[in-house]
Amino acid sequence: MILGIEGVSCVGKTTLAAMLAPHLDQPTVIPCYFHASPDPTRLPTPEPFTADHQLANIAQFLDVEDLRLSRARQAAAEGRDVILDRTVDTLLAHAHAVGRMNGFDCDDQAQHTVTSKAVAMPDLTIMLTADPDVLARRARLRKGMPTIFYDRHFSEHFNAYFDHPLAPAVVRLDTTTGSPEELAARALDHIRRHQAGEHPQREAS
């Protein structure tokens, strides 16, 4: 299976991916766009102020998606599971959020841009959320974290996008309280239920 892990920065995606890996079938963990990029310094800035700028940014990130898709296909050919630290839905959620914050709407064009290409599409996405104040405290521990990534309004709009994502199945889990081990156990329960065919098409939890 291909498992996507989503959410804004500092919400616990990378930690969850690492904790789930031992429970899946020799999974390949594909890092987020920043860490998958051959040269992260060439990636676009996180807060464009026009629709055209945002669409150009998405096109640039889709070049990184090509690399991620290649790794996912290789893992599938080897019979291994895949864990995606962020999915293409991140690109659309980001466009939705910055558009709402800066007075433009390029959602339809962004979706067309993404769906016109082959991408690594998860079978199930675990969407992590957390209280904005908790995210801000975590972000202060990360040197150089752009403030938009833990802005309350950005988080609200980013999370709202996942009411209608591209991914066929989405589960929301709150990471505000509880240990990483407890979160991993909850996520693994949803994964097992999904593998057994017990999930509806979309689920919120």
The structure tokens listed for 72 are 């996912």
The pLDDT value recorded for residue 199 is: 61
CB 96 within 8 A of CB 161: yes
- What string of pLDDT tens digits covers the 205 residues of the chain? 999 999 998 899 999 999 999 999 999 999 999 999 999 988 888 877 899 999 999 999 999 999 999 999 999 999 999 999 999 999 999 999 999 999 999 999 999 999 999 999 999 999 999 998 888 888 777 777 777 877 889 999 999 999 999 999 999 999 999 999 999 999 999 999 998 987 654 444 4
- β-sheet bridge partners, residue 174: 129
What is the rounded distance in angstroms from the CA atom of residue 128 to the CA atom of residue 176?
A: 9
* Pairs from 38-42 (Cβ < 8 Å, separation ≥ 24): 38/67
The pLDDT value recorded for residue 94 is: 96
The structure tokens listed for 119 are 């991408």
Instruction: Give the three-class secondary structure for 3.
Output: strand
What is the rounded distance in angstroms from the CA atom of residue 38 to the CA atom of residue 80?
A: 24
pTM: 0.91
Q: List, for residues 98-144, the tens digit of each pLDDT value.
A: 999 999 999 999 999 999 999 999 999 999 999 988 888 887 777 77
